[in-house]
Amino acid sequence: MTETSGDNDKQANSEENLEHVRYFQDAYELTLSKVALGNLFLQREIEVAKLEHAAFAAVLKAARKKIENVEVHAAPPPKRSSPPVTAAFLLAFIAPKDSAQALLGDLEEMFQKNAERFGDKQATRMYWFEVARSIGPIAWQWVKKMGFITFLVDYLRTKFGF
């Protein structure tokens, strides 16, 4: 009886081992199927991403072509007129060196605004008017520096007895 009970134990152990092996095989197959499904899912996602990338690249290419066409057919910038050279030279010649560039810059800025608003002819007239207005104070400063007024006052005092 001992032999049969030992065989029964062996048979029970082998059935139990076989059951464990089947369980691990089933778990292994289940894990493999999960990994395979995951890989299929990732491959599908990669294919979708490639298609989306291709569509986006086509849209981007079309947008670049449109931009190139717009740049090619863009209107040239409007021609800027310039202030009269003679008036600018006259003012630069008379004005003191430290303020001539600032004065000319301000007048040119006013000229550009007036040219946009009123046209070139009217802007030129207004520029000449501003130059003429500026000559008086500049000439007065020049005369004061030269001491001409002092000389004139002394001459008038001596001549007329003031």
pLDDT of residue 147: 78
Distance CA 159, CA 147 (A): 18
Quick one: how far is CA 33 from the chain centroid?
Answer: 54
- Banded model confidence at residue 4, pLDDT cuts 50, 70, 90: low
pLDDT at 120: 92
Whether 157 and 150 have beta carbons less than 8 Å apart is answered as: no
Evaluate whether 137 touches 130 at the Cβ level (below 8 Å): no
**pLDDT at residue 8 greater than cutoff 70:** no
Residue reference for tokens 């301000």: 106
Which of 3-7, 8-12, 79-83 is most confident? 79-83
pLDDT digits (tens, 9 = 90+) for 28-47: 888 888 888 888 888 888 89
b/e per residue 81-98 (b: at least 16 CB within 10 A):
eebeeebbebbeeebeee
What number of other Cβ atoms are within 10 A of residue 70's Cβ?
Answer: 9
Choose among 105, 147, 154, 149: nearest CA to 130.
105
pLDDT for 77-94, tens place per residue? 667 788 999 999 998 888
107 neighbors 83 (Cβ within 8 angstroms): yes
